[in-house]
A = this chain, B = another copy of it.
Amino acid sequence: MHISELDTPVMLVDLTVLEDNIRRLQEELTALGVAGRPHIKTHKIPAFGRKQLAAGAIGICCQKVGEAEVFAMAGFDNILIAYNIVGPSKTARLARLQHLTHAIAAVDSEETICGIAGAAAEDGVRVPLVVEIDAGGHRAGVQTAEEALALARRIADLPSLAFEGLMCYPTTDHVTPILLEAREQLTRAGLPPEIVSGGGTGAQRRARAAGLTEHRSGTYAYNDMNCVRNGNATLDQCAMQVLVTVVSTASPGWATVDGGSKTFTNDNVRANGHNGTVLEYPDVFLSRMNEEHGILSTEQSERRPKVGEKLRIVPNHACGTTNLHDYVAAHRNGTVEAIFPIAARGAIR
């Protein structure tokens, strides 16, 4: 079956481009001497995570216990949940996960440490933890090396926990001296970090200066228009598009497709068009979105799409788009190889 025969809207993933993207980053990391730990939030599909391991990744990163459960069940044996796991339901699941896989969590407070320690003790397991350091975004992480050391000591004191190291997101110039100082202090205190984990698509160039042992990256597998605009990818390196159908050209200068913000998200939406690139019509812009309508401006294009025509649109944000869809059509050169369920979509807890 050719992708043009698929009903729309549907996510397409070009397997050749995906595999090239995975290989290219792994080669870059190998040259840097830094391990790769891909973030599966971008695709949420175990079969694609397998491709990342096969290329040389040491494990994967998840953001939610629910995502880690899906990947643990699929046989992934080294998972970092880069998130403070809080509350009795989720800490119990994190402890239970240790029977299936090596699932590391991130912490930035005494409260989170104690919650996980209690659940781990109750389940008779030891949960490995890394201490998160704020990279400057104020979303999570301790502010100083001293705080990181204090939390590491607390972890090391609790028999149901294991101190594994440090993490930050993304790897920034702000966090680099704090990471280096924390590593120094931990080593002097007899708690040398086994893991120093940084991340962010494109941020691998800071990995060595920050003394990272591993780099976490998600979007690089698919790439998207944000990556193209940031210079981290070319349009040809975008593995994922959404196939849509033109449903209306009744208003002159405009063409409407059957995917809007419930298909593409409003992530990084721009007021004046360029909310996705139409591969078939470089001069046509995804100007606005309503929930189920994507409104293309066709005024600057000599050729104009017609009702019934199918178009491929590269979204602004791949990870958000994945989160809206239940399936992807994986293809090579347009020939569909498989329809994959996005297994960890909806695993929000």
Which residues of A does B touch, CB under 8 Å? 7-10, 41, 63-64, 83-84, 86-87, 89-90, 108-109, 111-112, 115, 132, 134, 137-143, 147, 245-254, 256, 258-259, 261-263, 265-269, 288, 290-293, 295, 306-308, 319-320, 323-326, 346, 348-349
Contacts and interface: CB of A to CB of B under 8 A. Distances in A.
Given A109-B307, A138-B295, 17 more contacts: A7-B349, A9-B348, A84-B256, A84-B307, A108-B250, A111-B307, A134-B250, A138-B254, A139-B254, A139-B293, A140-B250, A140-B256, A141-B248, A262-B348, A265-B265, A266-B269, A291-B319
Nearest to A85: B247
B139 A262 contact: no
12 contacts: A7-B87, A7-B89, A7-B349, A86-B258, A108-B248, A109-B248, A139-B248, A139-B290, A140-B251, A266-B269, A291-B320, A325-B346
A182 to B, nearest CB: 14
Nearest to A249: B109
A25 to B, nearest CB: 20
Listed from nearest, the 9 A-B pairs whose CB atoms lie closest are A138-B251, A84-B247, A108-B250, A7-B89, A111-B307, A140-B248, A266-B266, A63-B292, A138-B254
A109 to B, nearest CB: 5
Contacts of A254: 138-139
Nearest to A349: B7
Contacts of A245: 86-87
Contacts of A9: 348-349
Contact of A263 (B261, B292, B348): B348
Q: Is the interface of A mostly helix, strand, loop or mixed?
A: loop
B349 A86 contact: no
A87 B348 contact: no
A320 B261 contact: yes
A64 B139 CA distance: 37
Contacts of A308: 86-87, 111, 115
Given A139-B256, A256-B139, A348-B325, A247 B86 contact: yes
A293 B15 CA distance: 30
Nearest to A90: B7
A61 B47 CA distance: 38
B261 A265 contact: yes
B8 A247 contact: no
A81 B59 CA distance: 46
Contacts of A143: 250-252
Contacts of A258: 83, 86
Contacts of A142: 250
A251 B139 CA distance: 7
B326 A346 contact: yes
